[in-house]
Amino acid sequence: MNRIDEAVTVVGGGIGGLSTACYLADAGADVTLLEQHEDLGGVAGSFEMDGFRFDSGPSWYLMPEVFERFFGHFGHSVDEAYDLERLDPSYRIFWTDGDRLDVPADPEALASKLEAYEDGAADAFHRYLTHAEEVYELAMERFVYPFRSGWTDWIDTDLLRSARALPLLRSMDHHVQTYFEHPKLRQLMEYKLVFLGGSPYNTPALYTLMSHVDFNQGVWHPMGGMQSLVDALAELAEALGVTLKTGTPVNGLRAQTGGVHVSANGQSHMAPRVVANAPPAHVERTLLPPNQRDYDDAYWDEKTYGPSAYLLYLGVEGDVDPLRHHSLVLPPDWDPHFEQIFDDPSWPDDPAYYIHVPSKTDPSFAPDGHHSVFVLVPIAPGLRDNDARRAKMREIVLDDLAEHAVDLRDRIVAEADACVSDFAEGFGHPQGNALGLAHTLTQTGPLRPAHRATEAPGLYYVGADTQPGVGVPICLISGEHAARAVAADA
Ligand SMILES: Cc1cc2nc3c(=O)[nH]c(=O)nc-3n(C[C@H](O)[C@H](O)[C@H](O)COP(=O)(O)OP(=O)(O)OC[C@H]3O[C@@H](n4cnc5c(N)ncnc54)[C@H](O)[C@@H]3O)c2cc1C
C-alpha cells in the first residue's frame, strides 16, 4: 500500500470502519474515527443485562484465516487478541417434524450421517465439498482478497477466464439439486445463504463456497464473544495512533476544494479524505447535499436488501438442553418463509430461525445455573415492527421452541428485543435490513457499490454494503480495500 501523508476521518466504528482505520493509520495517515454511539462495533458487539451478556448481532465466527491474515498484517496474531474455540458439533438442526441432526466438526463424520438420508449422499457430499473448496480458493485468491481500483482493473482476460470457472449463472438451489435430492440435505447446504442476506433462489451458486467455510473451516467461538474482536480492533487502532471518538454523530458531509467538510456534534472540520462506514444509501440520503449524490432514491429503493431480523434476548434460569451453542429450527418446507422475506414481505407464520446459547461454551455470558439465549428470526426488511407485532412474534417463537426443543417460558429472568426499526434508526441500514445488500448476481463483486464516491471527491465507503460484501470477516477485508483506494489517490 502507498504511504498516506494526510488526515483521514472515518465515519462509523463498525467492523469495516475499525478495520480501515487500522490499515490507514498503518500506512501513515492521521486517522480520526467518529462513531455516533457510545460503543464501537456497529451491529457487532455485546450488551449486558441483569448479569447476562449477549452478542448483539453476529455470533458465528467463520473464516478464521481472514482474522489471522488481518492481525498478521500488523505483526500480531489472533492468539494475542483472544482465545478461540472450535465448536464440535458445529451446530444442531431441529427439524419441526421431530428429526434432529448434529453437524460434527469432522466432514467425514458428517458424510456418514448424510448417507442415512439418501443413498449415495456421502459420495455426493465429497464431490460437492471438493468443488466448494475449489470455488472458495479461486474466489478468495482472485476476487475477494485483491483490491481492484476501478472497472478497468476487472477487465483482464486471465481474470475473466477465472470468472468463467465460477458457477455464477445458476442459483444455489439449482446447483445443490445436482448433488442431493433429499430436501433436508438441500437445506443443510443452503441455510447459510441467509448469512449473505440471500435465499437459495436469488443467490448464485458461486456461494457454494460457504459450504467450505462451514464444513471444512468450521465454526468457532471467540471467548468473550464478538466483543473480544471489537475490543481487539479498537486496541490495535489506538496502538497505531487512531483517535477514536465515540458519542460523535456526523450530521453532514460536503465535498469541496481541498477535501470533505465534516459536521459533527455542532462542530465542523475539513478532512482531506473521509471514509464512511455508514451504508452508502444512508450517506447519500441523509449526509450529502443532493448534487453530490451518485444515485437517486429510486436506485436505492430498487436494490435487494438482505433480511432484517426479529431478535429476542433472554436470560434463562436452569438448563436449556437440548439446545447447543448454535441451533437452527427449520420447518421441512421453508419456501413460505423465504417468500415472506423476499417476494411478499410479511411476518412469518411458520419461521425458520436460529438460537444462540454462548453460555454453553463460555461461562462469561451468564451467572451460574443460567444461560444467555438469543433467538434470531430473519424477516423482510421494511416491515412495521410495533409492540403488538413484536409481542406476537415472541409468542410464536416461544411456543415453537417449547414444541420442538425446550420450554423457556417460566424461567425467563431477563429479556430484551430488537427489530427492523432498531437497524433503521440505530444504524441507518436501508429499510431496517440487518445484513446489508443481498449477494444476488447483480449485487456481487464489482456490481456492489464501489469504495470511491464519484460526485463527492475525497469520500470513500467501507462495510457490508460495499465490496466485497456482508459478514464480519468480509468487512475486515473491505477495510483493507477502502484504505488501498485512499492510498491510491493520496
Ligand atoms: C443480527 C445480525 C446477525 C449477524 N450474524 C453474523 C454472523 O453470525 N457472522 C458474521 O460474520 N456476520 C454476521 N452478521 C453480519 C455482520 O455483523 C455485518 O456484516 C458487519 O458487522 C457489518 O459491519 P459494517 O462495518 O458494515 O457496519 P455497521 O455494523 O453497520 O457499522 C456502521 C457504524 O457506523 C456508525 N454510523 C452510522 N452513521 C453514522 C453517523 N452519521 N455518524 C457516526 N457514526 C455513524 C453506526 O453507528 C455503526 O457503528 C450479522 C449481522 C446482524 C445484524
Cα distances (Å, whole numbers) of residue 139 to 134, 144, 164, 216, 416: 8, 6, 11, 16, 39
Q: Tell me, yes or no, whether 166 and 232 share the same domain.
A: no
- Mean pLDDT (whole number) for 52-78: 97
> What's the pLDDT tens digit per position in 261-292?
999 988 999 999 999 999 999 999 999 999 99
pLDDT at 156: 66
pLDDT at 54: 97
Tell me which residue has cell 478532512: 271
Closest-lying ligand 1 atom to the alpha carbon of residue 464: 26
Residue 96 lies in a domain: no
Helix, strand, coil content of the chain in percent (nearest 5): 40, 20, 35
Task: Classify burial at 434, counting beta carbons within 10 Å of its beta carbon; exposed 0-12, middle 13-18, buried 19 or more.
Answer: buried
Cell of 146: 485483491
Give yes or no for residue 462 having a pLDDT over 90: yes
pLDDT at 158: 66
What's the structural domain count of the chain?
Answer: 3
Q: Tell me, yes or no, whether 137 and 184 share the same domain.
A: yes
Q: Is the peptide bond before 336 cis (omega within 30 degrees of 0)?
A: no
Measured distance CA(154)–CA(151) in Å, rounded: 5
Task: Classify burial at 80, counting beta carbons within 10 Å of its beta carbon; exposed 0-12, middle 13-18, buried 19 or more.
Answer: exposed
Cell of 447: 456490481
- Mean pLDDT (whole number) for 449-459: 96
Candidates 192, 199, 200; CA nearest to 176 is 200
Mean pLDDT of the chain: 94
CA of 218 to the centre of ligand 1 (A): 23
> What's the pLDDT tens digit per position in 304-324?
999 999 999 999 999 999 999
pLDDT at 148: 79
Cα distances (Å, whole numbers) of residue 16 to 142, 204, 230, 479: 21, 24, 11, 5
Give yes or no for residue 162 having a pLDDT over 70: no
CA of 41 to the centre of ligand 1 (A): 7
pLDDT at 157: 66
Residue 118 lies in a domain: yes
DSSP 86: E
Q: Tell me, yes or no, whether 13 and 33 share the same domain.
A: yes
Q: Tell me, yes or no, whether 188 and 261 share the same domain.
A: no
Cell of 430: 436501508
Q: Which of 15, 34, 43, 311 to mutate to test the pocket of ligand 1 (most atoms within 8 A of CB)?
A: 43
CA of 273 to the centre of ligand 1 (A): 22
Last residue of a domain, one of 164, 197, 217: 217
Q: What is the CATH number of the domain that holds 207?
A: 1.10.405
CB 11 within 8 A of CB 395: no
CA 302 to chain CA centroid, nearest Å: 21
By three-state DSSP, how is residue 290 classified?
Answer: helix
Percent of the chain with pLDDT over 90: 85
Indicate the range of 166-175, 200-209, 425-434, 440-449 predicted with least confidence. Answer: 166-175
CA 488 to chain CA centroid, nearest Å: 27
Using CA positions, which residue lies closest to atom 36 of ligand 1?
12
pTM for this structure? Answer: 0.96
Q: Tell me, yes or no, whether 272 and 231 share the same domain.
A: yes
Measured distance CA(86)–CA(234) in Å, rounded: 24
Give yes or no for residue 164 having a pLDDT over 80: no
Measured distance CA(469)–CA(63) in Å, rounded: 14
Give yes or no for residue 331 having a pLDDT over 80: yes
pLDDT at 154: 66
DSSP 246: -
Cell of 321: 438442553
Measured distance CA(238)–CA(251) in Å, rounded: 24
Tell me the Cα Rg of the chain: 22
Using CA positions, which residue lies closest to atom 45 of ligand 1?
12
Name the β-bridge partners of 375: 312, 355
Residue 51 lies in a domain: no
Q: How many CB atoms lie within 10 A of CB 206?
A: 24
CA 61 to chain CA centroid, nearest Å: 10
Cell of 427: 444504524
Closest-lying ligand 1 atom to the alpha carbon of residue 15: 25
Measured distance CA(391)–CA(211) in Å, rounded: 35
pLDDT at 170: 83
pLDDT at 83: 97
CA of 9 to the centre of ligand 1 (A): 18
- Mean pLDDT (whole number) for 67-92: 98
Q: Tell me, yes or no, whether 117 and 157 share the same domain.
A: yes
Cell of 123: 459420495
Q: Tell me, yes or no, whether 328 and 347 share the same domain.
A: yes
Residue 1 lies in a domain: no
CB 136 within 8 A of CB 62: no
DSSP 242: P
The confidence band for 203, taking pLDDT boundaries of 50, 70 and 90, is: confident
> What's the pLDDT tens digit per position in 367-408?
999 999 999 999 999 999 999 999 999 999 999 999 999 999
CB 94 within 8 A of CB 330: yes
pLDDT at 205: 86
| Residue 118 CB contacts under 8 Å (≥ 6 apart), including other chains | 124, 180, 181, 182, 185
> What's the pLDDT tens digit per position in 235-269?
999 999 999 999 999 999 999 999 999 999 889 99
Last residue of a domain, one of 376, 391, 426: 426
DSSP 6: S
Question: Ligand 1 pocket: which residues have CB below 6 Å?
Answer: 11-17, 34-37, 42-44, 57-60, 62, 249-250, 277-278, 309, 311, 376, 427-428, 434-436, 463-464, 470-472, 475
pLDDT at 165: 67
Indicate the range of 351-365, 371-385, 408-422, 443-457 predicted with least confidence. Answer: 443-457
Q: Tell me, yes or no, whether 322 and 375 share the same domain.
A: yes
Closest-lying ligand 1 atom to the alpha carbon of residue 479: 25
| Residue 229 CB contacts under 8 Å (≥ 6 apart), including other chains | 15, 44, 61, 67, 81, 82, 222, 472
Q: Where are the beta strands (DSSP E) in 179-278?
A: 220-222, 243-245, 250-256, 259-264, 267-271, 273-276
- Mean pLDDT (whole number) for 347-355: 95
Q: Tell me, yes or no, whether 258 and 276 share the same domain.
A: yes
Cell of 158: 486471465
Candidates 395, 31, 64; CA nearest to 229 is 64
Residue 402 lies in a domain: yes
Task: Classify burial at 385, counting beta carbons within 10 Å of its beta carbon; exposed 0-12, middle 13-18, buried 19 or more.
Answer: buried
Give yes or no for residue 212 having a pLDDT over 80: yes
The confidence band for 199, taking pLDDT boundaries of 50, 70 and 90, is: confident
Q: What is the CATH number of the domain that holds 452?
A: 3.50.50.60
CB 247 within 8 A of CB 448: no
Containing structural domain, residue 139:
107-217
CA of 13 to the centre of ligand 1 (A): 9
b/e sequence 320-353, b meaning 16+ C-beta within 10 Å: beebbbbbbbbbeebeebbbbbbeeeebbeebbb
Q: Tell me, yes or no, whether 288 and 315 share the same domain.
A: no
Cell of 101: 441432526
Give yes or no for residue 143 having a pLDDT over 90: no
CA of 100 to the centre of ligand 1 (A): 32
pLDDT at 418: 97
Last residue of a domain, one of 154, 186, 217: 217
Residue 266 lies in a domain: yes
Residue 265 lies in a domain: yes
Q: What amino acid is encoded at 122 in this protein?
A: A
Q: Tell me, yes or no, whether 291 and 327 share the same domain.
A: no
Measured distance CA(285)–CA(453) in Å, rounded: 14
> What's the pLDDT tens digit per position in 167-187?
667 888 999 999 999 999 999
Q: Tell me, yes or no, whether 299 and 209 share the same domain.
A: no
b/e sequence 228-265, b meaning 16+ C-beta within 10 Å: bbbbbbbebbeebebebeeebebeebbbeeebbbbebe
- Mean pLDDT (whole number) for 458-483: 97
Residue 174 lies in a domain: yes
